[in-house]
Amino acid sequence: MAGDERNGAEKVRPRLTIVVPTFNEAENVPKLVEELRRGLEGVDYRIVFVDDSNDGTPEIVRSMSEEDGRISMIHREGADREGGLSTAVTMGMDAVSGGSAYTCVMDADLQHPPEKVREMLEAAEASDAEVVVASRYVKGGDYSGLSGPMRKAVSAGSKSLSQIVFKEARKTSDPMSGFFLVKNEAIAGIQLRPTGFKILLEILVCAPELKVIEVPLRFQARNAGVSKATMRQGMDYLTHITSLFWYVPSAGRFWKFAMVGASGVLVNMATLFFLAEYVDADLVIAWMFAVGLSILSNFLLNNAFTWRDVRHSSRIHFLLRGALAYPVAIAGIGANFAVYYPLLKYVTDAFPYYLLFNLMGIIAATAVNFILSSRLVFKPSLPKNLDPNMPKEDLAEGMRRELKADRVALISVPGLSPLDGGPHCQLLRPDMNVIELAVKTNHPMLTLTGPRRLPQARMNARWANSLAVPVSSGEDTVGVVYATRSSTEPFTEEDLHWLTAYVSTAAPVFEDQRTKS
């Protein structure tokens, strides 16, 4: 019976939801709705306006929603408006994420042609793409609707900057587009926290595995009203770039590696100068110590910053990776010399060419070092595949040992009770709060509640913390894996990444329990 109900829910599920953020667009909204109706005839769709307006836009949308049940509005006031366009779009996407197969985001000013929406939807379904971008820069596209040469230059510069910093942005010729369509299932569970108005860039960087295709967009002039582009939005964009670079571990990894390498040069030079000038060490010996120390500092910084999402299976594994960093660095030095010396010997050693050759050698060394570090030193330690046929007690015990947790519980949904029912899995109210939030948001969670007692002399604080990872089957959350630990070493993002990957195939464990109940 439950299966029949789910199948019935699928049949009435809208094919498409269109999220339209609005700010004083009273003159544009009626025409937008009219053109969407005409362009999407025969398509089961919904329109959600997320409105921050101070004019008559809310009244107009409410009037249209009374006439057409496919139209709804989220009107924001006061503090809810903080974040502007970015939070408006994410609020709309969160509100409809489970309500339709696809979500299209577009502006209300008709610079995004409404007739394009059907083309984007059909392109997604025909290609099984998870993101369809309406691009101004692909063949057949045009950005003449941008007002003035300055805005065109800023648009092109912003696009280029994002593609230089993030390889994920190179999947499309227009990562700054505000007109795109996404498959809701593909981005379920992603916590989008954009700053500014470039939601697409956030999606591309936070979900690098998505398949992206493009359709050409002829960007039109505004139908009515004035542009909302300001200098503040430009600053928000730079803040967004910085936030993605800093907080998303995989984002801009090469540039993080280059930054660490630059710090290694400073460590090398400072060590060489100190040993030569203050210790009076032999210059060759001083150079060897300087190189060794800079390689060590690079490894530690790369571990903490560049590849902080890569989990070490043990402390021995960490030490072995540190040891491997030295031959990798030597290979980089060899690549530098292999480029520099032949050019110097067979081309010219005149100034300033030898400096240029040295720079070319450094670039070659950086590339070789980065590739080898990615594939050898910081190669991800993928967890073994979870065996859903393993006894539940053994599964929980294996995860407990791997995470060095005090306990691991397999929690069934919707009952929210431990599968094994053992006394060690009795859950307190704070535990249930975390589990319920993980189920509600469908997001993996790491919580840190702080020391159980104040630190005292000769005693480290013990942190009470937990991991809660929801397990999904299709669009349903069927269970939660919940781990707790009270220790001087709290859980890390690496632990969360590992557990999320490990339980990604655990749905049968919880589905068996649902079948029995």
In this predicted model, what pLDDT tens digit does every residue of 23-34 receive, in sequence order?
Answer: 989 999 999 999
Q: Are 272 and 290 in contact (CB under 8 A)?
A: yes
Q: Tokens 């030898």 sit at which residue? A: 354
The reported pLDDT for the residue numbered 35 is: 96
Do you find a cis peptide bond into 352, omega within 30 degrees of 0?
Answer: yes
The reported pLDDT for the residue numbered 200 is: 92
Question: How many angstroms separate the CA atoms of 162 and 468, rounded?
Answer: 33
- Quickly list H helices, 302-428: 315-346, 353-372, 392-403
Question: How many angstroms separate the CA atoms of 302 and 305, rounded?
Answer: 5
Q: Binning pLDDT at 50, 70 and 90, where does residue 98 land?
A: low
Residues in the chain: 517
Mutual angle of helices 29-39 and 116-127, in 10-degree steps: 40
Residue 189 has pLDDT above 90, yes or no: no
The reported pLDDT for the residue numbered 415 is: 84
Q: Which amino acid is at 181?
A: L
The reported pLDDT for the residue numbered 9 is: 38
The least confident of 263-277, 372-386, 401-415 is 372-386
Over residues 162-183, the pLDDT tens digits come to 999 999 999 999 999 999 999 9
Question: How many angstroms separate the CA atoms of 17 and 10, rounded?
Answer: 15
Q: Binning pLDDT at 50, 70 and 90, where does residue 10 land?
A: very low
CA distances from 281 to 272, 284, 292, 296, 341 (A): 9, 8, 15, 20, 28
The reported pLDDT for the residue numbered 445 is: 87
Tokens of 201: 């860039």
| Global pTM exceeds 0.85 | no
Query: For the residues 147-170, what does the mean pLDDT come to?
Result: 88
Query: For the residues 294-304, what does the mean pLDDT come to?
Result: 95
6-15, 70-79, 453-462, range with greatest mean pLDDT:
70-79
- Collapsed DSSP state (helix, strand, coil) of residue 505: helix
The reported pLDDT for the residue numbered 456 is: 42
The reported pLDDT for the residue numbered 12 is: 60
Paired residues of 134 in beta bridges = 215
Residue 344 has pLDDT above 70, yes or no: yes
DSSP 429: H
CA nearest to 180, candidates 207, 148, 153: 207
- Collapsed DSSP state (helix, strand, coil) of residue 329: helix
Do you find a cis peptide bond into 490, omega within 30 degrees of 0?
Answer: no
CA nearest to 447, candidates 481, 496, 378, 409: 496
- Collapsed DSSP state (helix, strand, coil) of residue 1: coil
Residue 423 has pLDDT above 70, yes or no: no
Mutual angle of helices 199-206 and 85-96, in 10-degree steps: 60
- Collapsed DSSP state (helix, strand, coil) of residue 311: coil
Question: How many angstroms separate the CA atoms of 445 and 435, rounded?
Answer: 9
Question: How many angstroms separate the CA atoms of 216 and 203, rounded?
Answer: 20
Tokens of 210: 């998505």
Residues near 339 by beta carbon (within 8 Å), at least 6 away in sequence: 357, 360, 361, 364
DSSP 218: B
Query: For the residues 413-442, what does the mean pLDDT come to?
Result: 79
Q: Binning pLDDT at 50, 70 and 90, where does residue 453 land?
A: very low
Paired residues of 483 in beta bridges = 408, 467
Strands across the sheet containing 180-183 = 71-75, 45-51, 16-22, 102-105, 180-183, 131-135, 212-216
| More confident site: 312 or 472 | 472
Strands across the sheet containing 463-473 = 407-412, 476-487, 463-473, 445-451
52-56, 285-289, 369-373, 413-417, range with greatest mean pLDDT:
369-373
The reported pLDDT for the residue numbered 145 is: 66
Query: For the residues 337-364, what does the mean pLDDT come to?
Result: 91
Question: How many angstroms separate the CA atoms of 26 and 392, rounded?
Answer: 58
What is the average pLDDT value for the chain, to the nearest integer? 85
Rg of the chain, C-alpha, whole Å: 27
Q: Are 343 and 360 in contact (CB under 8 A)?
A: yes
Query: For the residues 266-290, what does the mean pLDDT come to?
Result: 91
Share of the chain above pLDDT 70, in %: 86
421: left (phi over 0), alpha (psi -120 to 50) or beta: left
The least confident of 45-49, 231-235, 282-286 is 231-235
Task: Give ∠ CA 268-269-272 in degrees, rounded to 5.
Answer: 85
Q: Determine the longest span between alpha carbons in the chain, in angstroms.
A: 87
Question: How many angstroms separate the CA atoms of 472 and 511, rounded?
Answer: 10
CB burial readout 374-387, b (16+ within 10 A) else e: beebbeeeebeebe
Task: Give ∠ CA 476-481-483 in degrees, rounded to 5.
Answer: 155
- Collapsed DSSP state (helix, strand, coil) of residue 50: strand
246: left (phi over 0), alpha (psi -120 to 50) or beta: alpha
First vs last Cα of the chain: how many Å apart? 13
Q: Kind of pairing, strands 180-183 and 131-135?
A: antiparallel
Question: How many angstroms separate the CA atoms of 185 and 204, rounded?
Answer: 15
